[in-house]
Amino acid sequence: MSEVVPIDVPSASTAVASTPVLEARALFKRYGDVEAVAGLDLRVGPSEIYCLLGPNGAGKTTTIHLFLGFLEPTGGSVHVSGLDVAAEPLESKRRLAYIPEQVMLYRNLSGLENLEYFAALGGRGSLAAERLTDILVGAGLPRAAVQRRVSEYSKGMRQKVGIAIAIAKEADALLLDEPTSGLDPQASNEFSELLGRLRDRGVAVLMATHDLFRAKETGTRVGIMRHGRLATEMSTDEIGHADLERVYLEHMHG
């Protein structure tokens, strides 16, 4: 059982509260003959957890990479807090936090040093070591592991450092690509609670996942992607677990 340290989850900027924090407008990404994203329109507002479901190759990760500016759209545009990612790549990334499926860290640095580094690059260099330690422990990392080198960490521990990095950045939006991969059920639950707290503070979350159960439990809205398009989207309040699974399978085989 990991130590529970309440994390003071920051509020997102209220200046963009009236506009979507994450927005894709008629978004296309083509690789040769393959249309990875084909006319995607997507809006994620403040205090919203949008879960992007779909099979492998549906375009979920490509969509996240387009928001991060790692890829250039072949059509349409992506916006973060009203900023066009193509026009303002660095400033838009400063408004984002990102947790990949496998968080990779610097093996020769400790968990705390990794967090200090990423926090500093994300514009949070002023955070004291005590505060960063609290964030790490709050993300589920054992306090005794904070000063140990990451080369001694398990995959789950690295994932928790990744979560701490995202929290420390105090971003307007959080992009998650299969973030609970490698976490044990308890850590996954703690992660879901953490997302809930972030949502309460106004953070917009876009999470690509295969986990229908967690999407229903954690998300406020769910979108199902297929062949680079949004096949359908729905509010999680309007649908039960069984219905979500049925709709998902229908769209996969339809």
Partner 1 sequence: MIKHIARKEFTDVVRDGRFRWCAALVGALLLVSLGHGWVQARQAQGELAAAQATAREHWESQGEKNPHSAAHYGIYAFKPRLALSFVDAGVDPYTGTSVWLEAHRQNDFLMRPAQDATAAQRIGALTAAHVLQHLVPLLIILLTFGALAGEREQGTLRQLLATGVGRSDLALGKALGIAGALALLLVPAAVVGAAALVVGSPGPAASPLARAAVLAGVYLVYFAAFVGLSLAVSAQAGSARTALVALLAVWVVNGLVAPRAAVDLSRWIHPTPSAVEFARTLEREMATGVEGIERPDQAATAARLMAQHGVERVEDLPLNDVGVYLQESEEFGNRIFDRNYGALWDTFERQGLVHEALAVAAPLLAVRTLSMGLAGTDVEQHRHFATAAEAYRRDLMRQMNGDLTENSRSGDFSYTAGPDLWAQVPPLRYDAPTLGWVLNNRLLSLLVLGLWLAAAVLAAAAGARRAEVA
- Cβ within 8 Å of residue 151, ≥6 positions away: 107, 108
> Which of residues 12 and 231 has its CB atom nearest to partner 1 in the complex?
12
Q: How far apart are the first and last CA of the chain?
A: 44
Closest separation between CB of residue 99 and partner 1, Å?
9
Closest separation between CB of residue 20 and partner 1, Å?
20
CA atoms within 13 A on the CB side of 36: 18
Strand partners, 50: 206, 221
> Which of residues 112 and 230 has its CB atom nearest to partner 1 in the complex?
112
Closest separation between CB of residue 150 and partner 1, Å?
11
Closest separation between CB of residue 180 and partner 1, Å?
17
Closest separation between CB of residue 67 and partner 1, Å?
10
Give dist(CA 190, CA 27) in Å, integer.
33
Closest separation between CB of residue 152 and partner 1, Å?
13
Give dist(CA 43, CA 197) in Å, integer.
21
> Which of residues 98 and 191 has its CB atom nearest to partner 1 in the complex?
98
- Cβ within 8 Å of residue 52, ≥6 positions away: 60, 63, 206, 207, 208, 209, 223, 225
Closest separation between CB of residue 70 and partner 1, Å?
4
- Where would I find the beta strands (DSSP E) of the chain? 22-31, 34-44, 49-53, 75-80, 83-84, 96-99, 173-177, 204-208, 221-226, 229-235
> Which of residues 157 and 230 has its CB atom nearest to partner 1 in the complex?
157
Q: Which residues in this chain contact partner 1 in the complex, by CB under 8 A?
A: 65, 68-70, 90-91, 93-94, 96-98, 100, 102-106, 108-109, 113, 117-118, 120-123, 125, 162, 165, 169, 175
Q: Per the structure block, which two tokens stand in for 249? A: 């399978």
> Which of residues 18 and 126 has its CB atom nearest to partner 1 in the complex?
126
> Which of residues 135 and 231 has its CB atom nearest to partner 1 in the complex?
135
> Which of residues 159 and 236 has its CB atom nearest to partner 1 in the complex?
159
Q: Tokens 């709709």 belong to which residue? A: 247
Give dist(CA 161, CA 139) in Å, integer.
7
